[in-house]
Amino acid sequence: MANATHHGALNMILHFAGLGSMGLGMALSCLRAGLEVHGADTNPDRLAALVAGGGQALQPDSPKADALVCVVLNAEQTRNVLFGAAALADRLRPGGVILSCATVAPAFAREMEAEAEARGLCYLDAPISGGSIKAASGQLSIMAAGKPEAFAAARPVLDAMATTVFELGDTAGPGSAMKAVNQMLAGVHIAAMAEAMTFGMTQGVAPDRFLEVIRQCAGTSWMLENRAPHIVAGDYSPHSSVNIWPKDLGIVLDIAREARFPAPITAAALQQYLAAAGMGLGQEDDAAVAKVYARNAGLTLPGEA
């Protein structure tokens, strides 16, 4: 499934909505794979970066697309891009495919699929995982679900953006469900790492020692190995920002509440991210949730005065 360019891909026309930290890298990966990309973003700097990489700005007279990749923040933006104010769905050729990548509720994904099919379009529920670096290198994981014809139409785009495509069901919904499950764990694990690292500091365990030992022990997690080094280095340049988590854990807990599913650990983790955002850290790397713990316990993290 690695970045192979399929026959026909060279003639494929993509519209790309959302050129943020994930979307721009994904669009550039599609360009490298030989696809034609017309992109849209409210930020002209992001559009300029796409053009510098060989893409074009989506214009009123741009050609109709074979596929529309929608990489926006949430459900509301997704609806606006596809069928609302922007109505980019109307600019797909008949039978074209929408790849919807935002983290949304499974029920919303099913609703969007129905809207797409009512217009004679295919819809792929296609949340993404892997972060901005893998987005830029075409090495994302995609948790995908949709009808076989949606997968077939989207295949060259999936191949350009991802090394792993999980095919989770033959209708929209399961992709978003699995993404919600993954975000629940990822969000909990980052905050738990911060809780444990700062707890260790109260017991004389230095952050670098914590990372060295725990990454080799049963207490480790993918997120611990990825994010704890940011705290050890005192570097909160955002790879993925604090603000992601009130959004994504909020979606998770909205879905859980709707299903009458109590999720006390996730709820506790969300409070810590809200505190981080409330402290003004929303734009920092999500490892900055450690600063909530440090403040509460009177600790000084690496790199702090």
Q: Which spans of this chain sit near a copy of itself (rule: CB under 8 A)?
A: 106, 129-131, 141, 143, 164, 166, 168-169, 173-174, 177-178, 180-186, 188-189, 191-193, 195-200, 202-205, 209-210, 213-214, 216-224, 226, 252, 255-256, 259-269, 271-272, 293, 296-298
We find the least distance from the C-beta atom of residue 173 to a copy of itself, in angstroms, to be 7
- Among residues 134, 147, 179, 291, the one annotated as catalytic is 179
| For a copy of itself, the closer CB: 92 or 177 | 177
Which among 116, 127, 119 has a CA at the least distance from the CA of 169? Answer: 127
| For a copy of itself, the closer CB: 51 or 114 | 114
Cβ-Cβ contacts under 8 Å for 203 (sequence gap 6 or more): none
Which among 121, 127, 119, 133 has a CA at the least distance from the CA of 158? Answer: 127
Query: Catalytic: 179?
Result: yes
We find the least distance from the C-beta atom of residue 46 to a copy of itself, in angstroms, to be 24
Q: How many CA atoms lie within 13 A of 118 on its CB side?
A: 8
We find the least distance from the C-beta atom of residue 224 to a copy of itself, in angstroms, to be 7
We find the least distance from the C-beta atom of residue 171 to a copy of itself, in angstroms, to be 10
Do the beta carbons of residue 27 and residue 37 sit within 8 Å? Answer: yes
| For a copy of itself, the closer CB: 88 or 228 | 228
106: left (phi over 0), alpha (psi -120 to 50) or beta: alpha
- State the pairing for strand pair 140-146/122-125: antiparallel
Q: Report CA-CA distances (Å) from 1 to 161, 166, 248.
A: 10, 11, 28
| For a copy of itself, the closer CB: 41 or 100 | 100
Which residues belong to the active site? 179
